[in-house]
Amino acid sequence: MPASSLFHEISGLPTEQKNSETTRIDAASTEEILRLINDNDTRVPLAVRDELPTITAAVDCIVERFKRGGRLIYAGAGTSGRLGIVDASECPPTYGTPPEMVQALIAGGREAVFQAQEGAEDKPEAGASDLAALNVAENDVVCGIAASGRTPYVLGALKEATRHGAPTILVTTSSREKLAELGITADYLICPNVGPEVIMGSTRMKSGTAQKLVLNMLTTAAMVRLGKTYGNVMIDLQMTNAKLVERAKRIVMDITGADYDEASRVLELTGGHVKTALVMLLGNHDLTTAKERLNAANGFVRLALEA
């Protein structure tokens, strides 16, 4: 019986090749196994660095759409889908963004977050319908995440995004050449070449690490460009638990030199809004003036102080 076209397609993927360095990993000691994993992992950031020009363009696109009121929507399956969910879920507490600003879809829905739903990724129509349910529009950006680059659920979501005029990003550890051979494209192809996995086909390893790094870059750089930091300190966090309340006070103290009681007092005046507290203390402004300056500076603390 001849091999199927799907067999040949998958067999030719960079993510499915055998790593020549680890062919005897089953005979290695525990420390040797760990060194093999670690040696391979050290190459991942360098592979991501090679993709910085494309990541830069993708971030600029995301920032532009955010300024129009658009959203960043991730779509993935398995490990890739879970990475999208992690990145999206951490934006509101870290940067004070509304939950709908960065969202994530995973093949198989909520159950797939905790337990693999293997067949779910094979349905492009599910990716399309899940995205359509979010009323995707041209001001949104849709980012597919797929180690192989060919996950049907992800491709279905990207096709639906294109149909509605939304820019598309594909984060994959497959090569551009392989994607072109398969007829797969997106407005921004981010393709770090991490090489074969330590365990053949286990894309939760180097591929997953590369994807996590790229997603961190996309949202972190976008949030910095939106004025969510002062220097390298996050200043738009939400004080949703005791730890974050104390972190907000520490941020105000570190940046302004205020003592604990003064930082607490000013944060209470602002309703827990760290940016306003910073402008009040650093610029010696009252609450009303600080708010006006922040609004005029589109939320950038540094610009509000320099105005």
Residues involved in catalysis? 90, 121
End-to-end CA distance of the chain: 74
- Cβ proximity of 178 and 108 under 8 Å: no
Q: Residue 17: which of 174, 176, 180 has the closest Cα?
A: 174
What tokens appear for 161 in the block?
């995004």
Task: Measure the CA–CA gap between 117 and 210, rounded to whole angstroms.
Answer: 23
DSSP secondary structure string for all residues of 274-305? HHHHHHHHHHT--HHHHHHHHHHTTT-HHHHH
Task: Measure the CA–CA gap between 208 and 254, rounded to whole angstroms.
Answer: 35
Task: Measure the CA–CA gap between 256 and 266, rounded to whole angstroms.
Answer: 12
- Cβ proximity of 30 and 172 under 8 Å: no
- Cβ proximity of 235 and 278 under 8 Å: yes
Residues 6+ apart with CB under 8 A from 114: none
What tokens appear for 214 in the block?
């790229």
**Maximum CA pair distance of the chain?**
79
- Cβ proximity of 265 and 252 under 8 Å: no
Amino acid (1-letter code) at residue 176: R
